[in-house]
Amino acid sequence: MNALRIGIAGLGTVGVSTVQVIEQHKELLAKRAGRPIKIVAVSARSRTLDRGIDISSYRWCDDSAEMADADDIDLVIELIGGSDGIAKVLAEKALAAGKHIVTANKALIAHHGTALAEIAEKSGAAIYCEAAVAGGIPILKALREGLAGNQISRVYGILNGTCNYILTEMRDTGRTFDDVLLEAQKLGYAEADPTFDVDGIDTAHKLAILSAISFGTKVDFEGIYVEGIREIAPIDIEFAEELGFGIKLLGIASKNGDEIEQRVHACMVPIDAPINHVEGSFNAVVADGDFVVSVLHEGRGAGGGPTASAVIADVIDIARGHRVPLFGIPATELEAVPTRGMNHHKGAYYVRFNVVDESGVLADIARALTDHKVSMESVLQRSRDPNQIVPVVMTLHETEEAAMRRAVDQISKIGAVVEPPVVIRIEEF
């Protein structure tokens, strides 16, 4: 059988690992794919950079978009990154020309996945993105195929290893967010500009893809509520453990009637919940289905090896002629479903106020909660000398987000409240 001829656009960590897998496992991959897999061309920013691999036998493309027009390329592996620019141009041109696309680019799929799937289906090409979500965990294939007999009601998970590493280290060492972030950058777990990771954007990109596959809907990145973890302090982790919880940054998507709720934020999860035991830089995804009930997939969510493993899994599917729509159903059948605004979210809450320890403060806070019909479940306060700043922690019974926000805004205007309150949602998994 003829070889599947590949062009690789992007030779960063994942691109290099992908080349290594294809070259080191050439015979094994040919057996599993039913045909040889051959790299024909590569493209990257620099031709002369020492990447630790030999690329001299591959044709070099100064412009990766050349691959879309090349007669000797059947499949393009897009590892450039970014939601727009050359990555988008390459994907669109290649798919329109009938060439298959395998990508690890979550931003591209989160913003343009529906449109790219439509182009692919018109030309008869395949587009797969297993590597875009949770690295080496084969979660997209699991949702799209392994759980195809289920109506998925909720999918959630730890989708960013950097944040999970930071929260784990803060818990284990008692150090601040800023201190652990600096260490994570030195170790290579966090980028020099960590915004996408710690502010939840990376998680939101991945959640948009999970949500579309789980519910058969058009990708709706703009409909995701996003918060990061910058405001979490060691004292919040201490209080969480005292209350029987751990803190994780989660992406959560659920189908509620004719609406979808998509949100990314720090959560307090029960200390014995399986997802609370996912440590360090590991990722995990949980899917709730009507027949399977609940399944958890855990593994390494980033890094060259795990991500390249996911890339190659997609390549083998295409080599074998296995075709499944990107989101599980044809792009033309994906629904445009309204997103439930975060103000309508209902749940329990943890709130920490830093206040001057003086008479009447708790009464003022309680009055504000009563004004907005928000009910307290518990109060924790660590005493200090009078007139010193002390943390007051409350857990609130299930209430609507809008009411909780109005109450917290009112409380923040009390003179004795000296810092913006910290709010963490409580999830009962």
H or E stretch including 297?
strand 293-300
For 343-426, CATH number out of 3.30.70.260, 3.40.50.261, 1.25.40.10, 3.75.10.10 equals 3.30.70.260
Which parts of the chain have pLDDT scores under 70? 383-386
CA distances from 139 to 35, 144, 146, 147, 424 (A): 25, 8, 9, 10, 27
pTM: 0.95
The pLDDT of residue 383? 66
For the domain covering 4-132, report its CATH number: 3.40.50.720
User: What residue ranges do the domains of the chain occupy?
Assistant: 4-132, 141-300, 343-426
The pLDDT of residue 191? 87
The catalytic site residues sit at 206
The pLDDT of residue 385? 65
Q: pLDDT (tens digit, 9 = 90+) per residue, 297-355?
A: 999 988 899 999 999 999 999 999 999 999 999 999 999 999 999 999 999 999 999 99
The CATH class for the domain spanning 141-300 reads alpha beta
Identify the three-state secondary structure at position 129.
coil
Task: Please choose, from the candidates 386, 364, 390, 366, the residue with its C-alpha nearest in 3D space to the C-alpha of residue 378.
Answer: 366
* Count of CA atoms in the C-beta half-sphere (13 A) of 232: 34
Residues 323 and 332: their CA atoms lie apart, in Å, by: 16
**Torsion angle (degrees, nearest 10) of CA 153, 159, 165, 166:** -90
